[in-house]
């Protein structure tokens, strides 16, 4: 298992940030990236963004988030990677680079609930379960072997009403299982509640 060559207070080798919508997960990840960048002139920070612009509202949301993020953390580079997180993490991770993945929930969505196929296509898009399972296993290995710190952002969506529909229930189950597997693989897990971080695994 690789270690961080230069220890930065408050930054774990690997950390999972979980929380509900607008709980402060992404802001906290950005704060960690900012702390890492401020710790040394040689430090870099990269954000792997898993969101895809499926419609006009999503395009506007992504553009707004990019602009806000650039203003808050100018040194945080953003790369779009909706599916191959394992490969992307292996490519960009380095001892001097902190990698933020935002977010695991949208990543899972790209695999298990892909957007509708174009009208010209007679067959709708279907979940690629076999490849998803392989990708998830490779991603956990990539986290373990990452030479620099990794911050993973994900949603905790299993605390509310049980969703209607077989596909949605299956997605909620899959996300819970993914969160558990990632939590077991990282050094620290932090639950975000109304902007407040609560460490539930590892040292604060």
pLDDT in tens, 139-156: 999 999 999 999 999 999
pLDDT over threshold 70, residue 176:
yes
CA–CA dist 135, 140 (Å, integer): 9
Contact indicator for 73, 104 with CB cutoff of 8 Å: no
Whether this prediction's pTM lies above 0.85 is answered by yes
Task: Give catalytic status of residue 65 as yes or no.
Answer: yes
Q: How large is the angle between the packed helices 104-112 and 166-185, nearest 10 degrees?
A: 130
Please provide the distance, in angstroms rounded to a whole number, between the alpha carbons at the two ends of the chain.
21
Output the CA torsion sign for 106, 76, 78, 48.
Answer: negative
CB-based contact 146:93 (threshold 8 Å) = yes
Whether the Cβ atoms of residue 92 and residue 48 lie closer than 8 Å to each other: yes
Q: Does domain 17-201 match CATH 3.40.50.10790?
A: no
The domain segmentation of the chain, as residue ranges, is 17-201
- Give the pLDDT score at 124: 46
3-state helix vs strand vs coil in the chain, percent to 5: 40, 20, 40
Residue 120: band (very low, low, confident or very high) from pLDDT cuts 50, 70, 90: very low
Lowest-pLDDT range, 26-35, 39-48, 99-108, 122-131?
A: 122-131
Q: Which band of pLDDT confidence, cut at 50, 70 and 90, is reported for residue 117? A: very low
Count Cβ atoms within 10 A of the Cβ of residue 192 and give its class: 0-12 exposed, 13-18 middle, 19 or more buried. Answer: buried
> What are the residues whose beta carbons fall under 8 Å from the beta carbon of 144, sequence distance 6 or more?
1, 185
User: Is the confidence at residue 2, as pLDDT, over 60?
Assistant: no
Q: State the pLDDT confidence band at 51, using cuts at 50, 70 and 90.
A: confident
- The rounded distance, in Å, linking the Cα atoms of 125 and 119 is 11
Q: What DSSP state is assigned to residue 62?
A: H
Q: What is the mean pLDDT of the chain?
A: 86
Question: CB-hemisphere CA count at 13 Å for 120?
Answer: 0
Closest CA to 157 of 195, 124, 109, 91: 109
Reported as a pLDDT band with limits 50, 70 and 90, residue 61 is confident
In the chain, DSSP finds a helix count (H) and a strand count (E) of 6, 7
The neighbouring-strand residues paired with 193 are 196
User: Considering 28, 65, 131, 145, which one is annotated as catalytic?
Assistant: 65
């Amino acid at each position: 298992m690789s270690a961080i060559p230069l220890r930065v207070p408050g930054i774990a080798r690997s950390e999972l940030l979980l929380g509900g919508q607008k709980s402060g997960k992404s802001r906290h990840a950005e704060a960690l990236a900012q702390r890492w960048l401020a710790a040394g002139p040689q430090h870099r920070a990269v954000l792997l963004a898993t969101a895809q612009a499926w419609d006009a509202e999503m395009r506007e949301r992504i553009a707004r988030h990019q602009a806000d993020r650039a203003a808050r953390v100018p040194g945080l580079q953003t790369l779009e990677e909706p599916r191959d997180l394992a490969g992307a993490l292996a490519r960009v991770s380095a001892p001097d680079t902190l990698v933020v993945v935002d977010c695991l929930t949208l990543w899972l969505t790209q695999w298990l609930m892909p957007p509708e196929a174009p009208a010209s296509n007679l067959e709708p898009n279907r979940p690629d379960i076999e490849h998803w399972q392989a990708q998830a296993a490779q991603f956990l290995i990539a986290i373990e072997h990452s030479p620099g710190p990794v911050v993973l952002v994900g949603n905790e969506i299993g605390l509310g009403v049980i969703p209607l529909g077989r596909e949605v229930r299956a997605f909620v189950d899959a996300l819970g299982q993914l969160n558990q597997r990632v939590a077991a693989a990282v050094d620290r897990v932090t639950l975000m509640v109304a902007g407040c971080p609560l460490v539930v695994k590892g040292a604060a």
